[in-house]
Amino acid sequence: MQKINAYAIKNKFFFILTSLIVTCFFGYSQQANITVEGLIIDDTKITIPYAAIVLQKKAKGTSSTEDGEFILMVSENDLTDTLVVNSLGFKPFKIMVKDYLNKQEKIINLKESTISLAEVKIVKPEYYVINALKNLKRTTVSDQHQLTLLYRRASSEEGKARFFIEQYMKILDRGPSVTRMSRIEILESRKSADYRFFKKKEFRHSVIPMTIRNPVRHPISIKNTKWKKIGDSSYENEDVVIIEAKPKGQAKFKLYIGVDTFSIYKIENYANNSLYIYKKNKDGKLYLSYHSRQWTSDETIDESLQKRLRKDSNKISATYKHEVFILDIETNKKKAKVRHNFEAETNDMALLEIPYHEEFWNSFNLPPETKYFKKIKEELESNFGVPLQTQFQYSNK
């Protein structure tokens, strides 16, 4: 009788523990159990990339992919909320969530906005930059906040993908008004088989350069930089100037700055082909919505590998392509909890020992597969004919 009671108690404890773990893993999915997905296009049927899609009451949302597709998970309580879509150069689009779900064609057609800058006096480009940098704390989420994100990195050699890793993680940040983020926590991770010849490693987690290579997060010398207005756009009915910066001895970058608010909506850095897209939270302050960058270098290989690859040169082209989707933001300091992975400061993201939970990835609502991701997947599977899903199963045990 005692053995039976002990066994029952043990089973009960195991059930409770398992329930807690499952709740922890799948809390995000359980809270958002309705899929809102679609395609964003303009009047010429061209897809619109990196548009911000948010729920008006919560400012919770996502971004369209480079192919204009999006997926947003909502709850039943969100059905009466308004879906708001914004993109540079287009008028805002609004529709009630339940009305959008009832549409036969899940396509959102954005209309180009009219730019009125030609009617006003244009000042020097530096004027907009100086005011944009001065007002960063006012225009962005500058108090401590938590960003939940999906970080993807693909490694290619000689133009072909040979390794892929993605991580579900949280960071603690104060936005572009400070140099770098405060904390990093990797919750889930999975990687493909590693077919690389030259296993290039970064000396820290790839999410760190995401912030420290953002030109706005560092002091900018206005005098030692050549500023040039190269175009106009708009965002949420605000005129936007596109300004190109050419710092002395450094790579060029572009800023998309609102004429009225001096908000920086978009940053393009030529140094590492990086892109930063910002969108507004419920208080109208901007935070990072999407980021991508690519870095290519020529790495030296040893003589034996050179012979095996039948190369005339001892150099091999190695490329890292990064893509980051911001899934959620938490501005309540009491709810923003990020346990710092200290190893992330000194180790490549693929070397961190993060437990693999297949159940999590099977239930996780991933962003739509972009042309880029499909290409990576095809190239990885072509190495030895092993499906990517199978690679995940056997490479993460």
The DSSP 8-state label assigned to residue 113 in this structure reads P
> Which amino acid would we find at residue 255?
L
> Which amino acid would we find at residue 202?
E
The per-residue pLDDT string of the chain (397 residues; one tens digit each, 9 = 90 and over) reads 344 444 444 444 444 444 444 444 444 444 458 999 999 999 999 999 999 999 988 767 899 999 999 999 899 999 999 999 999 999 999 999 999 999 999 999 999 987 765 555 568 999 999 999 999 999 999 999 999 999 999 999 988 999 999 999 999 999 999 999 999 999 999 999 999 988 888 999 999 999 989 999 998 999 999 999 999 999 998 999 999 999 998 899 999 999 999 999 999 999 899 999 999 988 899 999 999 999 899 988 888 888 888 888 999 899 999 999 999 999 998 999 999 999 999 999 999 999 999 999 999 988 888 888 899 999 999 999 999 999 999 999 7
Asked if 328 contacts 306 with a C-beta cutoff of 8 angstroms, the reply is: no
Place of tokens 């987690």: 205
Q: Which segments of the chain belong to CATH 2.60.40.1120?
A: 34-113
Cα end-to-end span (Å), the chain: 39
Asked if 112 contacts 43 with a C-beta cutoff of 8 angstroms, the reply is: yes
Task: Please list, residue by residue across 62-75, b when 16 or more beta carbons sit within 10 angstroms of its beta carbon and e when fewer do.
Answer: bbbbbbbbbbbbbe
Distance of alpha carbon 302 from alpha carbon 315, whole angstroms: 9
Q: What is the pTM of this model?
A: 0.87
SS3 labels along 91-127: CCEEEEHHHHHCCCCCEEECCECCCCHHHCCCCCHHH
Cβ within 8 Å of residue 339, ≥6 positions away: 183, 185
Please name which of 212, 208, 133, 145 lies closest in space to residue 177, comparing C-alpha atoms. 133
How many other CB atoms sit within 10 Å of the CB of residue 353? Answer: 8
Distance of alpha carbon 152 from alpha carbon 87, whole angstroms: 23
Asked if 187 contacts 170 with a C-beta cutoff of 8 angstroms, the reply is: yes
Q: Six-digit token pair at 340?
A: 């710092």
How many other CB atoms sit within 10 Å of the CB of residue 367? Answer: 19
The DSSP 8-state label assigned to residue 116 in this structure reads -
Name the fold adopted by 34-113: Immunoglobulin-like (2.60.40)
